[in-house]
Amino acid sequence: MSTATETPDLDGAFPRLTDSQIAVFAARGERRPVQAADVLFRAGEPVGHFFVVLAGLVAIIDGAGPDEGVVRVHGPGRFLGEIGLLEGQAAVFLAAQSPHVYLVVQGEDLSKDMSRYLVDRIESDPRIEVLLNTEVRAAEGDKAIASVVVEDNRTGEQRTLPVGALFVFIGAKPGTEWLAGTLALDDRGAVLTGHAAADSGRARHWRHLAREPYVLETSRPGVFAAGDVRSGSIKRVASAVGEGSMSVRLVHEYLRETGASADR
């Protein structure tokens, strides 16, 4: 094929990959030397593999009918195969430039606070390495994160993980220690409201009132809680915003009931 010239890929069916894209495939595929007249694949074969031309030229030949002839010629960098592969599964490979994920868990058991189906998916994914009893101690890097130092919280042993990104999942624990002597909280520190507040040990404030707490009202009449901090909340932005607007309405209700002015 050395005398042939490459055909432009006018319809995009045989895209030319970048060096970094080829490197991703190279890490998972195999290099295969071919000789002139070797056949890489035939029309109608089951799809499941593909080729990337690294050197030389590869011809697509139309073998149907009596006039067999070269339809296209492709050079280095060209993707040869079912284009759907490049858009589907292969695109996942291309996107996963960092195919290893560390899941750092402070506790000793992944399933304690996580749904079983999610635990199963994580444990069956070879790209995810779960580090239990582990805490992040430092993020290192110049302009971007290059590594993260983690520590085993039982032994104090430290380890440096070569990572390019760090996703911090925080925000699940309410910062309500300062409220503990004032409002009724549940065993996780979230503020009790509505019936739960009325039933709590701090319900004495309600004894002289002829009504139950409003749905977002706490163990203290006229004090409301909305969003994540509230015991039993949905933990979603939309519900937090909704509860916020409900609280405003309930505050007005409380002020009307007590005869106080909303301007105070």
Ligand X SMILES: Cc1cc2nc3c(=O)[nH]c(=O)nc-3n(C[C@H](O)[C@H](O)[C@H](O)COP(=O)(O)OP(=O)(O)OC[C@H]3O[C@@H](n4cnc5c(N)ncnc54)[C@H](O)[C@@H]3O)c2cc1C
Query: In b/e form, how buried is each residue of 127-146, taking b as 16+ CB within 10 angstroms?
Result: eeeebeebebeeeeeeeeee
Q: Which long-range contacts (CB under 8 A, 24 or more apart) does 19-27 make?
A: 20/97, 21/94, 22/52, 22/54, 22/77, 24/93, 24/94, 24/96, 24/97, 25/52, 25/90, 25/93
Q: Which is nearer to ligand X, 97 or 245 (CB)?
A: 245
Rounded CA gap, 115 and 219, in Å? 32
Stretch that binds ligand X, among 80-88, 198-206, 225-233, 246-254 (CB under 6 A): 225-233
Stretch that binds ligand X, among 37-45, 53-61, 93-101, 170-178 (CB under 6 A): 170-178
CB of 256 to ligand X, least distance (A): 25
Cβ contact 155:195 at 8 Å: no
Q: Does 236 help bind ligand X (rule: CB under 6 A)?
A: yes
Contact with ligand X (CB under 6 A) among 23, 71, 138, 237: 237
Q: Which is nearer to ligand X, 7 or 176 (CB)?
A: 176
Q: Does 117 help bind ligand X (rule: CB under 6 A)?
A: no
128-131 and 101-104 as β-strands: parallel, antiparallel, unpaired? parallel
Contact with ligand X (CB under 6 A) among 161, 240, 246, 255: 240
CA distances from 52 to 20, 40, 45, 128 (A): 13, 11, 18, 28
Alpha helices in 102-162 (DSSP H): 116-124
Q: Give, as ranges, the residues between 188 and 217 that touch ligand X (CB under 6 A).
A: none
Q: Does 169 help bind ligand X (rule: CB under 6 A)?
A: yes
Q: Does 235 help bind ligand X (rule: CB under 6 A)?
A: yes
CB of 206 to ligand X, least distance (A): 25
Contact with ligand X (CB under 6 A) among 193, 219, 228, 247: 228
Q: Does 173 help bind ligand X (rule: CB under 6 A)?
A: no
Contacts with 75 (C-beta within 8 Å, 6 or more apart), sequence order = 6, 53, 56, 57
Minimal CB distance residue for ligand X: 227
Q: Does 166 help bind ligand X (rule: CB under 6 A)?
A: no
Question: Which residues of the shown chain bind ligand X in the complex (CB under 6 A)?
Answer: 169-171, 175, 227-229, 235-238, 240
